[in-house]
A and B are shown apart, each in its own frame.
Chain A
């Protein structure tokens, strides 16, 4: 079955700097890769996603890149702000959306 690894487990950056979180997946059949943000005490919420027919996707300060050959994808946050502090989860699944498997999470702290 699918296994998703995520690095780093914790990340601390200065406000205004960039943050990069990397994930790898094992199942070559996976073709949908969402990213979720979970603020302290809150539920996870989708922030961006990418499909295997796309190499990169951007939405304002966040971007995701996918290398299907290497089976890895990354989240890039530019010009970080304190409100970006949260736990970020990557995930992988097929287009049936069955069995959405999450990575272990990255706790991002943005220092003002």
Chain B
């Protein structure tokens, strides 16, 4: 158990709909990262937050948005869903930007299926 909690584990929805994925980082971790893993694909970096502020952005579509709340949990919002958005969405957390360890602790992922 990595200590990172993601909900829901599975989600099935229709095209055009909107969903919210939630992530609770490990206790004490300030950074939260979101990754998309499509079938047989790698880990595509979407966005990173540190202590409530956006720190880095990757290949995140304009239909997607995220935020990190004061209690450090994060939500990834996916709207106007398309079939191609079907993927496993991972959240990862790490301790801080200035510590010597850069290890990312991944959650179990949220599997999104768009029909």
The residues of B that contact A89 with a CB separation of less than 8 Å are 42-43
Q: A43-B2, A43-B90, A43-B107 are in contact. Are A97 and B45 (CB under 8 A)?
A: no
Contact with B along A72-105 (1 / 0, CB 8 A): 0000000000000000010001011111111111
- A residues contacting B by CB (< 8 A) are 32, 34, 36, 43-46, 49, 89, 93, 95-105
Q: How far is the CA of A43 from the CA of B90 in the complex (A)?
A: 8
Q: Which residues of B contact A44 (CB under 8 A)?
A: 43, 90, 104, 106
A107 to chain B, nearest CB (A): 9
> In the complex the two chains form, what is the Cα distance from A98 to B53 in whole Å?
12
Whether the pair A97, B42 counts as a contact (CB closer than 8 A) is no
Report B24-52 CB contacts with A as 1/0, cut-off 8 Å: 00000001010100000111010010100
Decide: B42 and A99 in contact? CB cutoff 8 A.
Answer: no
Given contacts A102-B43, A105-B42, whether A93 and B90 have CB atoms under 8 Å apart is no
Chain B residues within an 8 Å CB radius of A45: 2, 106
Q: Report if B55 contacts A (CB, 8 A).
A: yes
Nearest-Cβ distance from residue B111 to partner chain A, whole angstroms: 10
Q: How far is the CB of A106 from chain B (nearest CB, A)?
A: 10
Give min CB distance, A26 to chain B, whole Å: 14
CB of A2 to closest CB in B, whole Å: 9
Q: Considering the complex, give the chain A residue whose CB is closest to the CB of B44.
A: A102
Q: Which residue of A lies closest to B47 (CB)?
A: A99
Contacts A89-B42, A99-B58 known; A34 to B107 CB distance under 8 Å? no
A98 touching B107, Cβ below 8 Å: no
Asked if A101 and B106 sit within 8 Å, CB to CB, the answer is: no
